[in-house]
Amino acid sequence: QAAADPMSSSDAPEDGPKETSSVSQNISDADAFKILLEMKMKKRQKKPSLPSTVTELDTEDGSKVYVVGTAHFSDSSKKDVVKTIQEVQPDVVVVELCQYRVSMLKMDEKTLLKEAKEINLEKLQQAIKQNGVMSGLMQMLLLKVSAHITEQLGMAPGGEFREAFKEASKVPFCKFHLGDRPIPVTFKRAIAALSFWQKVKLAWGLCFLSDPISKDDVEKCKQKDLLEQMMAEMIGEFPDLHRTIVSERDIYLTYMLKQAAKQIELPRASEAEPRKYIPAVVVGVVGMGHVPGIEKNWNSDLNIQEIMSVPPPSASSKIFKFVIKATVFGLMGYGCYRIGQRTVQFILSMPAAQSYLQKLTEIRSQH
């Protein structure tokens, strides 16, 4: 854009705005594209010096994908992402986020830290309204796990994604893609995979999570993301839950990375000029726990239609939903009863009320 768009008179320096403007106007969009592309290619390292957390994958048409395995609560992971993007100058950056979590890219660290620690009734209502009762509760329970880590470390989640977003914006012609499956689909499929008692047991385990966590624990878990490791420990006895939360998302992330790695079409001076394509360079930023699954699925023909469908609620889900609603309404009713009882007692204890009742008693005794 800097090469293609002429500077406005208000922004141009006093010494020679006309010359700068005329030079810019003489550069066509195609020429500007080629100039910036050449600059990008010069900065792109043929043999990049990459962190040990990066896995290199190739496609059949020669495109390269660099998957950065990260810990979601790690300063080291943020540095790995920045270094990788600077070294390879990618055409596309794909992150393990979906449209329901994209807000974390726009918030600053302080706001995110505050948001992550505060799980209140309003957030619960919003999650239920957006995803349904069961999926909403599951989402809030998982947020509680994330909030627990946030509180222990004083570090907001998703720092590596924010760094990826910033660095991608500095690379010419670099696209930024959201590569994770939508949260509502994941949670609804996870709920459908559990029996009634498994739901109760999982909810109980998440509700009473309180083990202390140190920064050393995070770095020790660099080979397996801390958040996913904690979840794996809790859902280890539920293979179907692990399949929906981890394995299916491995497939989805792999599919999105392969889509992003399709060859890039170069600009043409005219419609008569033949189309030319070059291999793409992609950087993927995902939790370390997903890297083995991506490698495993890389050379497979993937169809994500099946893992995007949401099965109808089972009988156990309906029972659990009814129990939750009955419990909530029961607690609300009991609360109203207690509040009403206390209110009546407070009013009756007031001197004016006691005087009024005494007069009523006297009038009744006279009759």
Q: What is the pLDDT of residue 21?
A: 46
Instruction: State whether 343 and 301 are in the same domain.
Output: no
Instruction: State whether 101 and 68 are in the same domain.
Output: yes
Helix (H, G, I), strand (E, B) or coil at 274: coil
Ranges under pLDDT 50 in the chain: 1-23, 222-223
Burial of 135 (0-12, 13-18, 19+ CB in 10 A): buried
* Within a domain: 16: no
Q: Rounded to the nearest 5 degrees, what angle is found at the Cα of 160, between the Cα atoms of 55 and 152?
A: 120
Q: What is the pLDDT of residue 53?
A: 94
Q: How far apart are the first and last CA of the chain?
A: 96
Instruction: State whether 307 and 334 are in the same domain.
Output: no
* Within a domain: 25: no
Helix (H, G, I), strand (E, B) or coil at 367: coil
Q: What is the pLDDT of residue 317?
A: 55
Instruction: State whether 253 and 351 are in the same domain.
Output: no
Q: What is the pLDDT of residue 261?
A: 97
Q: What is the pLDDT of residue 255?
A: 97
CA-only gyration radius of the chain, Å: 29
pTM for this entry? 0.70
- Long-range residue pairs from 25-28, CB within 8 A, at least 24 positions apart, any chain: 27/3, 28/4, 28/269
Last-in-domain residue among 312, 331, 351: 312
Q: What is the pLDDT of residue 331?
A: 58
Instruction: State whether 270 and 357 are in the same domain.
Output: no
* Within a domain: 3: no
Instruction: State whether 221 and 272 are in the same domain.
Output: yes
* Within a domain: 5: no
Instruction: State whether 334 and 230 are in the same domain.
Output: no
Domain limits for position 127: 45-312
Last-in-domain residue among 312, 333, 351: 312
Of 200, 190, 174, residue with least CA distance to 247: 190
* Within a domain: 354: yes
* Within a domain: 57: yes
* Within a domain: 38: no
Instruction: State whether 229 and 268 are in the same domain.
Output: yes
Instruction: State whether 285 and 358 are in the same domain.
Output: no
Domain count, the chain: 2
Q: How many whole angstroms separate alpha carbon 244 and alpha carbon 112?
A: 27
Instruction: State whether 187 and 329 are in the same domain.
Output: no
Q: How many whole angstroms separate alpha carbon 225 and alpha carbon 157?
A: 12
* Within a domain: 22: no
Instruction: State whether 198 and 305 are in the same domain.
Output: yes
Q: What is the pLDDT of residue 181?
A: 95
Last-in-domain residue among 294, 312, 330: 312
Instruction: State whether 240 and 356 are in the same domain.
Output: no
Q: Rounded to the nearest 5 degrees, what angle is found at the Cα of 79, between the Cα atoms of 76 and 80?
A: 90
